[in-house]
Chain A
Amino acid sequence: MAVRCQFEGSNEIGVFSKLTNAYCLVGIGATANFYSVFEEQLSETIPVIYSSIAGCRIVGSMVTGNRHGLLVPSTTTDAELQHLRDHLPDKVKLQRVEERLSALGNVVVCNDYVALVHPDIDRETEETIHDILQVEVFRHTVGNNVLVGSYAVLSNQGGLVHPATPTQEQDELSMLLQVPLVAGTVNRGSNALSAGLIVNDWAAFCGFDTTATELNVVESIFKISDTPQTAITTTMRKALIDSLA
């Protein structure tokens, strides 16, 4: 179920938080309302970690990760690193990355299997991503934008890209990433998708201004819905189609 929320009156929640299948990071200093929204949805299943990166609350733009690991920029202080290590589940590997493009959240978009990176990223960083996050790394742009982390949002079920992406490119990316892609907007027509939307396999959070249409698109592409899907559409689907073919 997609939930609308605001971080201290700002609709750009993706800048202040990071959601994966194993954990959730949120920036400190927000109202209790913001946290309660997250904790209500997530705290039974995954830990919600309050942290800052280099003293800044914009953790969503600075870090990137999936259920296998978390990469933080070189500006992270030791104390923060220790704090994260204490709270993250043991399976999740934590690594500090030396990278010129230090806002990792803007330059990398990834799910548990595949990652799309900024074409100018360092070779070592690419290898680190491959090792720590256990993903296949592709250097590609989204439409004409190099900041792939800002203009695309990815989960294991699907992906949402910048509205001006040509269909050919959407097909290309879809083939690379092996997930269905759709072009759309969030926060009432805004192009900056990852700033307004964070998803994992079962939950999605978006800014307050997101319209019902946009929310519908998000729910359909990321396959997030309240009702548990009936067996006929999941496990039995393959068998049925086979027999009809």
Chain B
Amino acid sequence: MEYITPGQPSIGVILCCDCGAQIQPNPTNRCIACIRARNDITEDINKQGTLHFCRACERYLDPPNTWILAPLESKDLLKLCLRKIRGLNKVRLIDAGFAWTEPHSKRIKVKLAVQKEIQEGAVLQQDFIVEFVVIGQMCDDCHRIEAKDYWRAIVQVRQKTDHKRTFYYLEQLIMKHRAHDKTLGIKSVHEGLDFFFATEPSAKHLVDFFSSVVPCRWSQSKKLISHDIHSNIYNYKYTYSVELVPVCKDSIVCLPKKLAHQLGGIGQVCVVQRVTNNICLIDPCTAQLAEVSSSVYWRSPFASLCTSRRLKEFVVMETEDADVNYFTGQGQISHKHQVAEVWVQRASELGTDKMIFCRTHLGNLLNPGDTVLGFELGQSNVSDTNIDAMNQDHLPDVVLVRKIYADKATRNRKRRWKLRHLGVDEDASSQNRDYTDFLEDLEEDTQFRTNINIYRDASKQPQDGTESEAGDLPQIGLEEMLEDLHIGSDPTGEGEEMEGEEMGE
């Protein structure tokens, strides 16, 4: 008897029950062609899709509103396409890749291999192609850039003064409150700024913001551009004109008599201490404070006798505390100031013995030898109805406004913080005088900077050797500064802010 070695069991061949082709037995007992013909596992999957592409910045839309930079045949683009295909969750995705298409054909073909169980124990794998049509659509950021030339509403902010300090303050406020995020562009003109908007409500929103933070008045006008007769749609261009009060910080004003009485009997000649949403006045002779709100100002407006540009330097010779008699019913007296009688000499006449007497509210700050900025009423030629109506004997000779701590160069060097700016198209602003005056104001007045974000300037190293020199100058403490971090890119030129360790004072 022969021993027959058992060989490997070989599976026989059967006929496909549909077409009769010879096949290996499988759970469905059909040939692959018949299985494919009967079962289409991709029938629920959309074989066509759309992709939105922005021609200007070459980014693809990732719904609902993110734009992604993805070169052709890259992983990011594949991820985006797969996310857009519906019905992929019912089958198992084995492989995905791109099929080559002409770059200008505006078609992107993705080849997918999926598997699905069609019957007990039988898993079918199928390859198919999904075609995406690339449609051009402009993304919102490019829209904004393009629409800068096509605006629907404009806000024109003007201030009838010769300097721009208030506008620097306004700029910082706008940035802190992000009131400008709907604006298409900002332009700087002769006496102010223009803000362009795409819609009228966004412009109104900005105007409301201004009315709440600075004293101003505004008016509105519109111009008809086109008119659709059939559906009665009128297209207008809206213009809001915002006028800020012409008085600024460190200007000297003469109040009308009636207003002075109403404000608690303050003297008529006053110094403007600061302009926030009200005008804060201080009387140099009595250190009395008064606040004039926007509506009160416009009812009885007063002009400034002298603006901060025209102030002259004086040197303090002697100071003496003054005796002020207060009467009942007087308005609020400032406790941060001290009325003093000083003898000053003009800086140009230093060394002579021509001294001028005056009363000032800066008594607590002044020592003999200090330089102050002030205005000589007697020597100047001011034409103001309120001044002319006053009794000339009661006019002070000199009004001192503020103290100079150090010359500008020294102060610039010692400054270890900086501010951010909007992307306004204008000349280089960081060196000019108005801007440095504004920065000095920020350093000197703590209340002024509550509304502003101050950033630490990393480019200026702390100099330990000259600390003693800096002891006198008003400085901003490190705890008030924010870290200046730039993340992302904005068309308006600023980055995201990181809230640092800001503590109140």
Contacts and interface: CB of A to CB of B under 8 A. Distances in A.
Nearest to B35: A189
B171 to A, nearest CB: 79
A166 B9 contact: yes
A183 B25 contact: yes
A121 B305 CA distance: 125
10 contacts: A163-B14, A166-B12, A183-B13, A183-B25, A188-B17, A189-B28, A191-B29, A211-B18, A213-B17, A214-B17
Interface in B12-61: 12-20, 25, 28-30
Contacts of A164: 11, 25
Given A167-B9, A213-B17, A216-B20, 19 more contacts: A163-B29, A164-B11, A165-B12, A166-B10, A166-B11, A167-B12, A168-B6, A168-B10, A183-B13, A183-B25, A185-B14, A185-B29, A188-B17, A189-B28, A213-B15, A213-B18, A213-B19, A214-B15, A214-B17
A176 to B, nearest CB: 15
A170 B29 contact: no
A189 B19 CA distance: 12
Closest 4 CB pairs of A and B: A189-B29, A166-B9, A163-B25, A213-B20
Contact of B9 (A169, A185, A213, A214): A169
Interface in A146-191: 163-170, 183-185, 188-191
Contact of B17 (A169, A183, A185): A185
B39 to A, nearest CB: 12
A213 B12 contact: no
B103 interface: no
B488 interface: no
Majority SS of interface residues in chain A? mixed
B329 interface: no
B7 interface: yes
A132 interface: no
Interface of A: 163-170, 183-185, 188-191, 211, 213-214, 216-217
Contacts of A183: 12-14, 25
A213 B25 contact: no
Interface residues of B, number: 18
Given A163-B29, A183-B25, A189 B9 contact: no
Contacts of A165: 12
B15 to A, nearest CB: 5
A168 B15 contact: no
Contacts of B20: 213, 216
B11 to A, nearest CB: 6
A126 B368 CA distance: 135
Contacts of A214: 15, 17
Given A183-B25, A191-B29, A167 B18 contact: no
Given A168-B7, A211-B17, A213-B17, A189 B30 contact: yes
Contacts of B15: 184, 213-214, 217
B175 to A, nearest CB: 74
A129 B298 CA distance: 122
Contacts of A216: 20
Contacts of B17: 185, 188-189, 211, 213-214
Interface in B159-195: none
Interface in B362-406: none
Interface in B283-300: none
Contacts of B10: 166-168
A177 B14 CA distance: 20
Contacts of A213: 15-20
A193 to B, nearest CB: 11
Contacts of B14: 163, 183-185
B184 to A, nearest CB: 68
A64 to B, nearest CB: 26
A19 B28 CA distance: 28
A144 to B, nearest CB: 10
Contacts of B11: 164, 166-167
Nearest to B11: A166
B36 to A, nearest CB: 15
Nearest to A165: B12
A186 B12 CA distance: 17
A185 B28 CA distance: 10
A102 B25 CA distance: 31
Max chain A C-beta neighbours (<10 A), residue from B6, B11, B14, B19: B14
Contacts of A163: 12, 14, 25, 29
A170 B12 CA distance: 8
Contacts of A191: 29
A191 B27 CA distance: 9
A148 B248 CA distance: 108
A74 to B, nearest CB: 34
Nearest to A170: B12
B19 to A, nearest CB: 7
Contacts of A170: 12
Contacts of A189: 17, 28-30
